[in-house]
Amino acid sequence: MDKNQETKQDETKEEQESSENVIKEDNENIKEDELIKELEKKDNEIEELNDRFLRLQADFMNYKNRVEKDKENVYTHATEDIMNQLLPILDNFERALDNMDNEDSFYKGVKMIYDQILDVLKKNGLKEIQCEGEPFDPNFHHAVFAEECEDREEGTILEILQKGYMLNDKVIRPSMVKVVK
Protein backbone atom coordinates (compact mmCIF):
# COMPACT_ATOMS: atom_id res chain seq x y z
CA MET A 1 0.00 0.00 0.00
CA ASP A 2 1.24 3.28 -0.72
CA LYS A 3 1.31 6.29 1.45
CA ASN A 4 -1.58 7.98 -0.25
CA GLN A 5 -3.85 5.11 0.38
CA GLU A 6 -2.72 4.96 3.94
CA THR A 7 -3.39 8.65 4.42
CA LYS A 8 -6.82 8.27 2.81
CA GLN A 9 -7.60 5.37 5.07
CA ASP A 10 -6.46 7.37 8.09
CA GLU A 11 -8.58 10.29 6.96
CA THR A 12 -11.55 8.01 6.43
CA LYS A 13 -11.02 6.53 9.85
CA GLU A 14 -10.79 9.97 11.38
CA GLU A 15 -13.93 11.07 9.56
CA GLN A 16 -15.68 7.95 10.70
CA GLU A 17 -14.57 8.48 14.30
CA SER A 18 -15.54 12.12 14.05
CA SER A 19 -18.98 11.27 12.75
CA GLU A 20 -19.33 8.59 15.45
CA ASN A 21 -18.41 11.24 18.04
CA VAL A 22 -20.97 13.62 16.58
CA ILE A 23 -23.59 10.86 16.70
CA LYS A 24 -22.63 10.07 20.29
CA GLU A 25 -22.88 13.76 21.23
CA ASP A 26 -26.25 14.02 19.49
CA ASN A 27 -27.48 10.93 21.34
CA GLU A 28 -26.22 12.37 24.62
CA ASN A 29 -27.90 15.71 23.86
CA ILE A 30 -31.14 13.92 23.03
CA LYS A 31 -30.91 11.95 26.26
CA GLU A 32 -30.20 15.16 28.20
CA ASP A 33 -33.20 16.88 26.57
CA GLU A 34 -35.39 13.90 27.39
CA LEU A 35 -34.14 13.93 30.98
CA ILE A 36 -34.76 17.67 31.27
CA LYS A 37 -38.27 17.23 29.86
CA GLU A 38 -38.89 14.33 32.25
CA LEU A 39 -37.63 16.40 35.20
CA GLU A 40 -39.83 19.35 34.20
CA LYS A 41 -42.80 16.98 33.95
CA LYS A 42 -42.04 15.56 37.41
CA ASP A 43 -41.64 19.10 38.82
CA ASN A 44 -45.05 20.04 37.39
CA GLU A 45 -46.60 16.92 38.90
CA ILE A 46 -45.05 17.73 42.29
CA GLU A 47 -46.33 21.30 42.06
CA GLU A 48 -49.85 20.09 41.18
CA LEU A 49 -49.85 17.57 44.02
CA ASN A 50 -48.61 20.21 46.44
CA ASP A 51 -51.39 22.60 45.33
CA ARG A 52 -53.99 19.84 45.74
CA PHE A 53 -52.60 19.05 49.18
CA LEU A 54 -52.77 22.70 50.26
CA ARG A 55 -56.35 23.04 48.98
CA LEU A 56 -57.34 19.83 50.72
CA GLN A 57 -55.76 21.03 53.94
CA ALA A 58 -57.60 24.38 53.68
CA ASP A 59 -60.89 22.58 52.95
CA PHE A 60 -60.36 20.39 56.00
CA MET A 61 -59.68 23.41 58.23
CA ASN A 62 -62.83 25.11 56.89
CA TYR A 63 -64.82 21.93 57.52
CA LYS A 64 -63.43 21.64 61.04
CA ASN A 65 -64.29 25.28 61.83
CA ARG A 66 -67.80 24.87 60.34
CA VAL A 67 -68.46 21.73 62.39
CA GLU A 68 -67.23 23.49 65.55
CA LYS A 69 -69.46 26.49 64.84
CA ASP A 70 -72.46 24.23 64.10
CA LYS A 71 -71.84 22.35 67.34
CA GLU A 72 -71.72 25.61 69.26
CA ASN A 73 -74.93 26.81 67.56
CA VAL A 74 -76.73 23.58 68.46
CA TYR A 75 -75.62 23.92 72.08
CA THR A 76 -76.65 27.59 72.22
CA HIS A 77 -80.01 26.89 70.59
CA ALA A 78 -80.72 23.97 72.93
CA THR A 79 -79.76 26.04 75.98
CA GLU A 80 -81.94 28.93 74.82
CA ASP A 81 -84.86 26.57 74.22
CA ILE A 82 -84.58 25.07 77.72
CA MET A 83 -84.26 28.53 79.29
CA ASN A 84 -87.41 29.72 77.50
CA GLN A 85 -89.30 26.70 78.83
CA LEU A 86 -88.11 27.35 82.39
CA LEU A 87 -88.88 31.10 82.50
CA PRO A 88 -92.65 30.63 83.14
CA ILE A 89 -91.75 28.27 86.02
CA LEU A 90 -89.55 31.01 87.52
CA ASP A 91 -92.43 33.47 87.14
CA ASN A 92 -94.77 31.08 88.97
CA PHE A 93 -92.25 30.58 91.77
CA GLU A 94 -91.97 34.36 92.18
CA ARG A 95 -95.76 34.75 92.27
CA ALA A 96 -96.01 31.97 94.85
CA LEU A 97 -93.28 33.54 96.99
CA ASP A 98 -94.95 36.98 96.78
CA ASN A 99 -98.22 35.52 98.11
CA MET A 100 -96.81 33.47 101.01
CA ASP A 101 -96.00 34.29 104.61
CA ASN A 102 -92.23 34.92 104.92
CA GLU A 103 -91.93 33.27 108.34
CA ASP A 104 -93.47 29.99 107.22
CA SER A 105 -91.14 26.95 106.83
CA PHE A 106 -92.97 26.05 103.60
CA TYR A 107 -92.01 29.50 102.25
CA LYS A 108 -88.37 28.88 103.20
CA GLY A 109 -88.37 25.50 101.39
CA VAL A 110 -89.93 26.97 98.25
CA LYS A 111 -87.48 29.90 98.39
CA MET A 112 -84.53 27.47 98.63
CA ILE A 113 -85.75 25.56 95.56
CA TYR A 114 -86.29 28.84 93.67
CA ASP A 115 -82.79 30.05 94.59
CA GLN A 116 -81.23 26.75 93.47
CA ILE A 117 -83.01 26.85 90.11
CA LEU A 118 -82.03 30.49 89.63
CA ASP A 119 -78.41 29.71 90.54
CA VAL A 120 -78.21 26.86 87.99
CA LEU A 121 -79.72 29.06 85.29
CA LYS A 122 -77.30 31.91 86.07
CA LYS A 123 -74.34 29.53 85.88
CA ASN A 124 -75.53 28.62 82.37
CA GLY A 125 -75.62 32.25 81.20
CA LEU A 126 -79.06 33.55 82.22
CA LYS A 127 -79.16 37.18 83.40
CA GLU A 128 -82.13 39.24 84.52
CA ILE A 129 -82.61 42.54 82.69
CA GLN A 130 -82.52 45.29 85.32
CA CYS A 131 -84.78 48.10 84.21
CA GLU A 132 -86.88 49.80 86.92
CA GLY A 133 -86.15 53.55 86.88
CA GLU A 134 -84.05 53.16 83.72
CA PRO A 135 -84.82 54.80 80.34
CA PHE A 136 -86.95 52.68 78.01
CA ASP A 137 -84.92 50.74 75.41
CA PRO A 138 -86.92 48.80 72.79
CA ASN A 139 -84.02 46.34 72.45
CA PHE A 140 -84.56 45.16 76.04
CA HIS A 141 -88.08 46.27 76.98
CA HIS A 142 -91.61 45.84 75.72
CA ALA A 143 -93.89 48.73 76.75
CA VAL A 144 -97.34 47.44 77.69
CA PHE A 145 -98.72 50.53 79.43
CA ALA A 146 -97.93 54.23 79.37
CA GLU A 147 -98.85 56.42 82.33
CA GLU A 148 -98.49 60.13 83.04
CA CYS A 149 -96.21 60.94 85.93
CA GLU A 150 -95.16 64.47 86.95
CA ASP A 151 -92.08 63.57 88.99
CA ARG A 152 -90.45 61.28 86.37
CA GLU A 153 -88.92 62.00 82.96
CA GLU A 154 -90.71 60.80 79.83
CA GLY A 155 -89.59 57.34 78.66
CA THR A 156 -88.58 56.20 82.15
CA ILE A 157 -89.72 52.77 83.26
CA LEU A 158 -92.18 52.98 86.16
CA GLU A 159 -92.95 49.35 86.83
CA ILE A 160 -91.88 45.89 85.69
CA LEU A 161 -94.89 43.73 84.82
CA GLN A 162 -92.85 40.70 83.74
CA LYS A 163 -89.11 40.26 84.15
CA GLY A 164 -86.96 40.08 81.05
CA TYR A 165 -83.96 37.83 80.65
CA MET A 166 -80.80 37.61 78.58
CA LEU A 167 -78.82 34.51 77.72
CA ASN A 168 -75.15 35.22 77.05
CA ASP A 169 -75.80 38.84 75.93
CA LYS A 170 -78.82 37.89 73.79
CA VAL A 171 -82.31 38.94 74.84
CA ILE A 172 -84.45 35.81 75.05
CA ARG A 173 -87.41 37.57 76.66
CA PRO A 174 -87.79 41.37 76.85
CA SER A 175 -89.08 42.94 80.05
CA MET A 176 -92.77 43.89 79.94
CA VAL A 177 -92.92 47.36 81.48
CA LYS A 178 -95.05 50.39 82.28
CA VAL A 179 -93.48 53.61 80.94
CA VAL A 180 -93.90 57.31 81.69
CA LYS A 181 -95.64 59.11 78.87
| Nearest-angstrom CA–CA distance, 86 and 82 | 6
In a domain, 154, yes or no: yes
| pLDDT tens digits in sequence order for the chain, 181 residues long | 566 666 676 667 777 777 777 777 767 777 888 888 999 999 999 999 999 999 999 999 999 999 999 998 898 889 999 999 999 999 999 999 988 887 788 889 999 999 999 999 999 999 999 988 899 999 999 999 898 888 888 889 999 999 999 998 899 999 999 999 8
| Nearest-angstrom CA–CA distance, 115 and 93 | 10
Task: Give the domain CATH number at 174.
Answer: 2.30.22.10
Contact 127, 153 (CB under 8 A): no
> Is residue 31 packed enough to be buried (19+ CB in 10 Å), middle (13-18) or exposed (0-12)?
exposed
Domain of 171? 127-181
In a domain, 105, yes or no: no
Looking at this protein, which amino acid is placed at residue 120?
V
